[in-house]
Amino acid sequence: MAMAAAAGGNQVHNVFVYGSLLADDVVRALLSRIPQSSPAILNGYHRFSIKGRVYPAILPVENKKVSGKVLHGITDPELYILDEYEDVEYERVTVDVSLMDNSNKTQALAYVWSDKNDPNLYGEWDFEEWKRTQMEDFAKMSAEFRQDLEQPESKTRIATYESFYQQDGGRPLMP
């Protein structure tokens, strides 16, 4: 499948998502569509909460696993948007994930937290709790980021995030 797509000079990618991108609203805000997806498990990683941030981080941790989903058919331009969105806090790596609907293993790209020794990581991040308390604002912030990305002088996602959450009367985040 990837071969045929690559012939046109436009590759498609599988991307494993595990945090805010599990929410269709956030994906739609960024990509203007909801790609096909499959539930998946990433073994050997843990999903942490981050102090002062509402989104999670994953890092390799033995005998742990992260449940998420694989977005299929992500195009190069869409991957560029996701790269900009994940910004310098994350590093894009290739991982092996297990698809839950057929237990096949597949390779996917995943955004792993850049700072392996970050003291701000703790506990475990809870998607359902996030969905209930944060999703609506986060989708708005993501839409703002996406519109801004079209501008020649676009802000980084971190800058968009920080100004959005400060103007929202939320507690100011550490610079």
Which amino acids are annotated catalytic?
86
CA distances, 10 to each of 3, 6, 13 (Å): 10, 5, 10
Residues 6+ apart with CB under 8 A from 85: 30, 142, 145, 157
Helix, strand, coil share (%) of the chain residues, nearest 5 = 35, 35, 30
